[in-house]
Amino acid sequence: MRKNSIKNTRINGEVQKELSRIIRNEIKDPRIHPMVSVISAEVAPDLKTCKAYISVLGSDEEKENTIKGLKSAEGFIRRQLAGSLNLRNTPEIRFLLDQSIEYGVAMSKLIDDVARKDADAHREDETDEAD
């Protein structure tokens, strides 16, 4: 199976959906922050490994604790995934912190700040010309 095949894309989507459900509904670890999102899941073509990109809305300490909690619950998550998905092999999951959403929000804020300053400067120029 090729990496970008339709079958692999479908498996990635199903694994992502199931990981989200398992993390949200079945894990009771207090280290795992309630605002956790599974951004994407990349299952290897041989179905042996999976990289799960996780986003956590919270402080750096909460992010670190969430990743530790997910790594400790990895066996449970894999067993639940095996029960819900009918795959030849259940992939070994590695949880990776994805900070792209935070980066996007920070960039959006910077753009808004620049636009606001530009609009304020433009208004000041108009009031100076009117005088």
Going from N- to C-terminal start, the domains of the chain cover 6-98, 100-131
- In angstroms, rounded to a whole number, what is the distance separating the alpha carbons of residues 102 and 109? 11
Q: Contact, 43 vs 15, CB < 8 A? A: yes
Strands ordered across the beta sheet of 36-43: 36-43, 49-56, 92-97
Q: Is this model's pTM higher than 0.85 or not?
A: no
The Cα–Cα gap between 12 and 67 comes to 20
In the structure, what pLDDT confidence band is assigned to residue 123 with cuts at 50, 70 and 90? confident
**How far, CA to CA in Å, does 104 sit from each of 41, 98, 100?**
20, 12, 6
pLDDT digits (tens, 9 = 90+) for 65-100: 999 999 999 999 999 999 999 888 899 999 999 888
With a cut of 90, say whether residue 120 has pLDDT above it: no
- Return the CATH superfamily for domain 6-98: K homology (KH) domain (3.30.300.20)
For all residues of the chain together, what is the average pLDDT? 89
